[in-house]
Amino acid sequence: MSLQQAIAQYLHDGQSVAMEGFTHLIPFAAGHEIIRQQKKNLHLIRMTPDLIYDQLIGMGCASELTFSWGGNPGVGSLHRLRDAVEKQWPQPLTLHEHSHAEMAVAYQAGASGMPCGFMKGYPATQLAEVNPAQIQPQQCPFTGQWLSAIAAIKPDVTILHAQQADADGNVLIRGIVGAAREAALAAKTVIVTVEQQVEKIDADMNAIVLPRWLIAAIAVVPGGAYPSYAQGHYPRDNAFYLAWDEIARDREKFLSWMQSHVLALRDHAELLQRLQVAA
C-alpha cells in the first residue's frame, strides 16, 4: 500500500496518533504525508516531539499533545511548539505532560490492556499537579507504599518507521527502539513505513519483530526517517537539526519552508532528491 493511501484510509481528523521512534527511526515521511493531507485536530502523542511534531503543530494539524520532552535534541527549543503554547499560534495546543518513565509505563499499560500502570516517585515532581487526569497517587495494597498510577495510553493509530518488512509483512526494528514496540501494541491501528522489503528479515531470535497480523498497512519508503536516521542505512543529519532552529524561529520562514519542501512535493522521495540536489 502506498503511504498516501495508508494515511488517507487509516488516520482521521480528531484521532489520537502516536508516531514513535526515540531520536532514531522517526517517521518523517508519514508526518509530511499527514501535513499534505491537511489532517486536523489530531491528538499527537510522542515521548520526544522532535522536528516532525514541530512541523505538524506549526501547520495546524494538532489540538492536543501528550509528551515528555519537547525540544530540538542538543540544539534548543522547538519554536513552533513554543509558539503554540506561549502565543496560541496557529491554534491553541492542550498539553498532557509526563516524564519519559511515566510515558513508558503508560504505553506498557496500554499494550497490556490495563487501565493504568504503576511506578515509584509520586511526590517528587509537580507533573501530577498539572496532569491530574493521567497521574494520581495510589497506595500499594500489600505494602502501603505510595506510588504513582499513570493512565494507559491507547492511541487510535500508531505510526512507526522500521528497517525491514518481509514478503508476508513481518517488520524488523533494530538499534535504538525507544518505546516503539509498546506504542504499536497499545494502538488500535498500526501503520509502518520501512526502508526496504526483503524476502526474509535479517533478525536474531530475540530481535524486535512486529508480527504481520498486528499491522494494518505497510509502505516501503526508503529514507523515510530522514533527517533522523535508520541504523544500518543512513546516519542522522545533525546539520539539518541545527539548521531547523533558524527555519522554525520565524513564522513566515517556517511556512515558506513547509510550502516548498512538503506541500509542493508529491512524496518523500522528491524531498530527498531536492535536498540532495541543494546540498
Q: Which stretch binds another protein (CB under 8 A): 11-19, 150-158, 227-235, 258-266?
A: 227-235
Rounded CA gap, 49 and 20, in Å?
A: 9
Q: Which stretch binds another protein (CB under 8 A): 31-39, 51-59, 97-105, 246-254?
A: 97-105
Binding status of residue 237 toward another protein by CB under 8 A: yes
Angle, CA of 76, 80 and 84, to the nearest 5°: 120
**Least distance to another protein from the beta carbon of 13, Å?**
25
Binding status of residue 114 toward another protein by CB under 8 A: no
Binding status of residue 47 toward another protein by CB under 8 A: yes
Q: String of b and e for 181-193 (b: at least 16 CB within 10 Å)?
A: bbbbbbbebbbbb
Residue 62 forms beta bridges with which residues? 42
Q: Which of residues 13-42 bind another protein (CB under 8 A)?
A: 22-24
Amino acid letter for position 240 = F
- Closer residue to another protein (CB): 156 or 182: 182
Binding status of residue 121 toward another protein by CB under 8 A: yes
Q: Of 238, 256, 259, 260, which lies in the binding site for another protein, with binding defined by CB under 8 A?
A: 238
- Closer residue to another protein (CB): 145 or 256: 145
Binding status of residue 68 toward another protein by CB under 8 A: yes
Q: Of 1, 2, 38, 124, which lies in the binding site for another protein, with binding defined by CB under 8 A?
A: 124
- Closer residue to another protein (CB): 126 or 133: 126
Q: Grid coordinates representing 160?
A: 512507526
- Closer residue to another protein (CB): 23 or 37: 23
Helices (H), the chain: 3-10, 28-36, 50-58, 79-87, 100-111, 127-130, 180-186, 238-249, 251-258, 268-278
CA proximity to 147, closest of 103, 116, 179: 116
Q: Which of residues 168-207 bind another protein (CB under 8 A)?
A: 175-179, 181-182, 195-197
Reported as half-sphere exposure (CB side, CA atoms, 13 A), residue 131 has a value of 23
